[in-house]
Amino acid sequence: MAILVLDVGTSGVRAAIVGNDARIVADAYRETLPDCPAAGLVEFDAAAYADTAIGLAEDVLATRTTAIDAVGISNQRASAIVWDRATGRPVAPAQGWQDLRTLGTCLVLQAEGFRFAPNQTATKIADIWDSVDPDRTRDLCVGTPDSWLIWCLSGGAAHVTDLSNAAITGLMRSDAIDWDDAVLERLRIPRASLPRIVDSSGFAAHASRLSGAPPICGVAGDQQASLVGQAAVRPGLAKITFGTGGMLDVCTGTSRPSDQGRAATGTFPIVCWRRGDEVMWGYEAIMLSAGTNVQWLRDDLGIIADAAESAAVAAQCDSTDGVMYVPAQLGLGTPRWDYGARGTLLGLTRGTGRAQVVRAVLEGVAHRGADLIDAAESDSGTRIESLRVDGGMAANRVFVQALADVSGRPIEVAPVKDATSVGAALLAGLEVGLWDGWDDIAGTWEPAAVIDPTPSFDRIGQRDRWGAALDRAAGWFGELSALDF
């Protein structure tokens, strides 16, 4: 048995085939960078994304002699797509989750008692609809990338989304699993335009555009798919994906969190997945910049040739000699949520060299990872005994050791760089019997490495210094620091 996965990310699309050992046996990838026509605007061509995904699917399916059993989908979350129901064509460029054009709208709505963040889907959908049909006379469909891709794969037969994606749009009720009529009325989004909410693991539609019309049985947002892909499917299990930014997700159980929005220490309650009557809830902590700091060393400072070299350069010194770096190029997320904070390099001396700066950058991202763990534990009341990691920075041994040291926990490195594809396959395979249940999925976890904290590391002293460094980085642009969503 095998599962086809389509992973529609922010910067690229991947099609992969995952076997019954939860390993990728074939894949194809194509970069699909969004457009940035002006400051704060992030758009993409939704039709091109779907065509790319279906084309890549056909490419990997051509490598097989037997049919696949199901399709799983993982996707960038919260991006907004609006299309004409009759023609099946987008009516405007899709707005990416990073798009900030509705920031002012969010502030206006906040004064009215409606709390949205500009990276949520809700105000993006309203903005697109206002631009193409201000009188609301057209029969349009709205959705996130998962619902759009399923629409295209099914030939327009299915307009659905899973609960993990629906729950972060800003359009759902806080007290029930349903769309919020008060929000829809305020934003003038017709309920009929919204997708039907289905299970993350369960039948969603037939992919009639593909040979054999296999069933789509797994759908999840990228971070939730990564959580499942690293087999963190029991309360207390957590992962961080270190990509462009960093996302920690922890499972807390089947009881709905009491928090309805951002919690006291800066995390957010999330739906990890739904299967039948079971909903797994959790909390998410967010680092606004992770791998971008290594890109800065490479592309802007020019002190490393590629990202992989950062580990070798950092290993040239045993410590930073007191240098600290706060990775706040885009501000600080969890726990402080300070959009006006900025990247800060502290403790420089005449003896500070290339190796110390590179190590300081890696250690700074590691400290931010520890911040996310501390916040998630505080808000969820759940102890995280060990941490699973994936993403590009998970391959950097110096960074992973620093994360183990400053967090005081063993770090389990995922066997694949990007666990989202595996997670979507596990959700789909669970529905078609490839795996028997959550215990079976938990048993698929085989970390590539387990890195323990260094016994002699002065964690308390380093974390105290880190707190002082955060204070220095905070509030650099006061007008931005004053924003709160």
**What domains are there in the chain, each with its CATH number?**
2-222 (3.30.420.40), 231-413+455-485 (3.30.420.40)
Tokens coding 201: 């693991």
84 vs 224: CA distance, rounded Å: 29
Measured between alpha carbons, how far is 283 from 262 in angstroms, rounded to an integer? 10
Measured CA to CA, the distance from residue 304 to residue 311 in angstroms comes to 10
Helices (H) and strands (E) in the chain, counts: 15, 21
Residue 467 CA to chain centroid, in angstroms? 26
| 8-state DSSP, 53 | H
Got the DSSP string for 389-409?
Answer: EESGGGG-HHHHHHHHHHHTS
- pLDDT of the chain along its 485 residues, tens only? 899 999 999 889 999 999 989 999 999 999 998 999 998 899 999 999 999 999 999 999 999 988 999 999 999 999 999 999 999 999 999 999 999 999 999 999 999 999 999 999 999 999 999 999 999 999 999 999 999 999 999 999 999 999 999 999 999 998 888 999 999 999 999 999 999 999 999 999 999 999 999 999 999 999 999 999 999 999 999 999 999 899 999 999 999 998 888 999 999 999 999 999 999 999 999 999 999 999 999 999 999 999 999 999 999 999 999 999 999 999 999 999 999 999 999 999 999 999 999 999 999 999 999 999 999 999 999 999 999 999 999 999 999 999 999 999 999 999 998 899 999 999 999 999 999 999 999 999 999 999 999 999 999 999 999 999 999 999 999 999 999 98
pTM here?
Answer: 0.95
pLDDT score recorded for residue 176: 84
Q: Is beta strand 268-275 parallel, antiparallel or unpaired with respect to 449-451?
A: unpaired
Q: Is 337 left (phi over 0), alpha (psi -120 to 50) or beta?
A: left
Hey, CA dihedral for 388, 391, 397, 403, is it positive or negative?
A: negative
Q: HSE of 469 in the Cβ direction (CA atoms, 13 Å)?
A: 28
CA 45 – CA 92 distance, rounded (Å): 8
Question: Tokens 């389990």 appear where?
Answer: 412
Q: What HEC string does 180-228 produce?
A: CHHHHHHHCCCHHHCCEEECCEEEEEECCCCCCCCEEEEEEEHHHHHHH
Residue carrying structure tokens 């215990």:
439
Q: Which of 423, 167, 147, 438 is nearest to 276 (CA)?
A: 438
Q: What is the DSSP string of 278-315?
A: EEEEEEEEEES-SHHHHHIIIIIS---SSTTHHHHHHT
pLDDT, residue 259, reads 86
Q: Which residues contact 254 (CB under 8 A, 6 or more apart)?
A: 278, 279, 280, 281
A 10 A CB-CB count for 188 gives: 14
Our measurement of the distance from residue 407's CA atom to the centroid of its chain's CA atoms, rounded to an integer in Å, reads: 21
